[in-house]
Each structure stands twice: as C-alpha cells, then as structure tokens.
Amino acid sequence: MSIFDLFKQIESQSAPAVTGPPEYIIAGLGNIGDKYRGTRHNAGFMMIDAFAEQHGAKFGKHQFKSNTAMAEVNGVRVLLLKPDTYMNLSGQAVQEAMQFYQIPAEKVIVIYDDINLGVGELRIRQKGSDGGHNGMKNIIYLTGADTFPRIRVGIGQKPHPDYDLAAWVLSAFSAEELQKLSESAKTVCEALKLMLEGRTDLAMNRYNTGKQKKQKPPKPEQEAAPCE
C-alpha cells in the first residue's frame, strides 16, 4: 500500500471555493516527477497532500512556479504550495507567492524532510537556520529571512555512514515506514491548525517527538541535482 493510499484513510470533506487572498502560505517541499513520487525527499509533499485532502482542497492550479490549492481552515484562508522547481530552487516559488500576496515570513509555514530524525518523527520550530537542508537554504537565501515556522518530518538516517546521501533520500519508504508516515500526517494536520491560529509554541509542546541525531554534512559530490 502506498503512502497515497494510506492518506485516503484520513477523513476528508468537500469544501466550498475559497474567496479572497490568503492570510498564510504552507509550502511542502519535494521534487516533481513520477520517479520521485513517494521517495524520502518528498515527505513535505506527502504531508501537504494529506492536509489538503483533509480540508477538501484540490491541487491543480499552477502559479508561482508551484502546484497550488486554496483552503480555509477555521476561518483562515491558506495558500498551499508544492513547488514545481527541484528542491534546491524551492525559494523561487515561495518568494514569488510571498511577494505577490505581501505575506511575511512569520506566516509562511514550510514542511520538509529531515534525515536526522527517525521515520515519522516531527520537529516543529518558530524559526531557525536551514539545518543543512538545501530547499530551506534556498528559501532563506532568496527571501533574506529565517523566521519561517517549519515542520521537519523524519525520514530516517542512512543505513551506514558510507551510504550515498542522494541515493538514500531518493529511495522509497518501506511499507512499515509508510504506516508511520500515515500516522505522522494526521499529527501534522493537527499541528498546522494550531500554527495557523498563531499557536506554534503549543504545537511544539504537543507534537514534537524524538531526538535529533546529528550526521556529518554531505560532501558536495554526494548531492544529486534534485536533492539540492
């Protein structure tokens, strides 16, 4: 069973069209294309897909170098972004949407994968550095801000230190790992509701799980273009 089949278990509801400009942006990071579908580096896509499904939002409008959808969550209008760029250019999409709607970094929530967390573990933060993640690095570089609330989704450490990083993050999850991610998706949906209410501190206290285990940063030659 794929992660997308598992997400079908999340209760969804039809929603009327959202009118008016968004008050928040949620960006889920990943790589476009069927060959990257369901891979570890696409955990951000998986989580935002689950959130969209829960709130009856339909992706399909292409703007801001992204596949987008609009949702209304407890009265808050939200633009959902899945950048059409590769991971290392995610900032292009986020910056364009922010500038168009004049939304500050503090109201842009970014969801992305983290190899320093166990599969399905979550770390929510108000702001911070890129932590070595090249999608977040590009967002911070192009916007000049690091005050993005973010949810990091654990995808597991490499099996051993010599394992190629690009091969690892572009590998598929096991069935057991997909089950963990399905449960994490439900938690992410709940955390996002709190964050959209401005209660990120509560989301951190309630939903942060696991301990981050630092790995050595990858050597430049280990990084394949889609992973950067």
Q: Which residues pair with 1 in a beta bridge?
A: none
Containing H/E element for 203?
helix 200-207
Q: Which of 41, 55, 62, 133 is catalytic?
A: 41
Any catalytic annotation for residue 41? yes
**How many whole angstroms separate alpha carbon 68 and alpha carbon 49?**
11
**How many whole angstroms separate alpha carbon 16 and alpha carbon 36?**
31
Instruction: Please say whether the beta carbons of 30 and 36 come within 8 A.
Output: yes
**Which positions ≥6 away from 211 have C-beta within 8 Å?**
none
**How many whole angstroms separate alpha carbon 21 and alpha carbon 95?**
16
Q: Would you give the distance in Å from CA 106 to the centre of its chain? A: 16
Question: DSSP H helical segments within 35-120, as ranges?
Answer: 43-54, 90-101
Which of the residues are catalytic? 41
